[in-house]
Amino acid sequence: MNQAQRVQELPPYLFAAISRKIAEKRAEGVDVISFAIGDPDLPTPPHIVESLVDAARDPANQGYPETDGLPEYRRAVAGWYERRFGLTFDPDAEVVPLIGSKEGIAHLPLCFIDPGDVALVPDPGYPVYPVSVQLAGGVCHSLPLLEEKGFLPDLDAVPDDVAAKAKMLWLNYPSNPTSAVASLDFFEKAAAFAKQHDIVVVHDMAYSEIAYDEYVPPSFLEAPGAREVGIEVHSLSKSYNMTGWRIGMAVGNADLIGVLGRVKSNLDSGIPNPIQRMAITALEGDQSFIATNNAIYQRRRDMLVEAVRSAGLRVTPPKASLYLWCGLPSGVGSIDFAARLLDETGVVVTPGVGYGQHGEGYVRLSLTVPDDRLAEGIKRLKAWRG
């Protein structure tokens, strides 16, 4: 049976391959400890789950949802943005619900990329950015994220002919996988670059609430000029331990949001109403548990930094996100390193090259590991002599 050419050209999804490798090792009887995937081990707060249960019992919430979401959910998103960033959005024109931020990221190139158009894609970066551009028929131009430049793209280095063809620019801060952060000055420069070249900026901000040492990540849309050119994609997955519930949002320029809503209305049937109800509870309710969660992650960060350094890796403690981005000794490949570590210790890390060619020489470790397993993983790392 023939497959479409676009499917034949797709790379295997990084985390699916890692999950298969873990399953194989466990089937062999290996006690695997995985630092590979950023799925919070902390539970969804009980009051949020209870609101889902109550809403699920209501027959009014058991039919088809609307693609544009409950008005109450859009208002809750707008209210959260105003409280968190001081930004006001029209919930009817500048907010669209997402079935998790990954869904929005995957659909956005269909909104703005025609075959042959260029998208500026960070490297290393979330693998869905280039794949979604590829599925839309676009061409990816890599923006190297280099350690010596704070893992920020050098927009001045984009060739003029590439910028002239570019229709989208992906940004992601706090960053996955590098954990880098960006200032409002950088965001202002990115907005000016986008306006000059008529480029849509999509800022993926899934990790904005996971921050340490009193650092507070800004929104791209706070920067002067950003709302003229940009959309920000966000998620409740990391902030509220809701990865399994699949709900997020996009906010920003009304014209751009309108295009995304039009595409989504033709391709999906929206988010189940009970899940929207629980998201409203999350956004409008007590936020104090976020600081409690962050204190747990910060403690884990500090413990794991010490362990990876003892294993010969280079790491700067991150200000935000759920990851350590660790430099390998010179000449060591990330796939070979990860394979040896798994075979010799049962510890799983993510090879940096899976996020792009400029991720080679690094591995990523997640902080979403229960404390008892974290302690065992740290013990193995400290004992290992790679």
pTM exceeds 0.75, yes or no: yes
On whether the CB atoms of residues 22 and 37 are closer than 8 A, the answer is: no
pLDDT tens figures, 236-272? 999 999 999 999 999 999 999 999 999 999 999 999 9
pLDDT tens figures, 264-321? 999 999 999 999 999 999 999 999 999 999 999 999 999 999 999 999 999 999 999 9
CATH number, domain at 97?
Answer: 3.40.640.10
Same domain, 61 and 196: yes
The predicted pLDDT at position 9 comes to 82
The residue that leads in pLDDT, 182 or 384, is 182
Three-state DSSP class for residue 163 = helix
**Looking at the predicted structure, is the pLDDT value of residue 365 above 70?**
yes
pLDDT tens figures, 17-36? 778 888 888 899 989 999 99
Same domain, 187 and 307: no
CATH number, domain at 322?
Answer: 3.90.1150.10
Same domain, 266 and 303: no
The predicted pLDDT at position 150 comes to 98
On whether the CB atoms of residues 166 and 120 are closer than 8 A, the answer is: yes
pLDDT tens figures, 207-229? 999 999 999 999 999 999 999 99
Asked if residue 219 belongs to a domain, the reply is yes
CA distance 100 to 216: 23
Q: Could you tell me the residue range of the domain that residue 9 belongs to?
A: 5-30+288-383
**Looking at the predicted structure, is the pLDDT value of residue 381 above 90?**
yes
Q: Residues of the chain with pLDDT > 70: what percent?
A: 99
CA distances in angstroms from 284 to 70, 245, 275, 384, listed in the order given: 15, 17, 14, 46
Question: How many CA atoms, within 13 angstroms, populate the side-chain half-sphere of residue 253?
Answer: 19
pLDDT tens figures, 90-115? 999 999 999 999 999 999 999 999 99
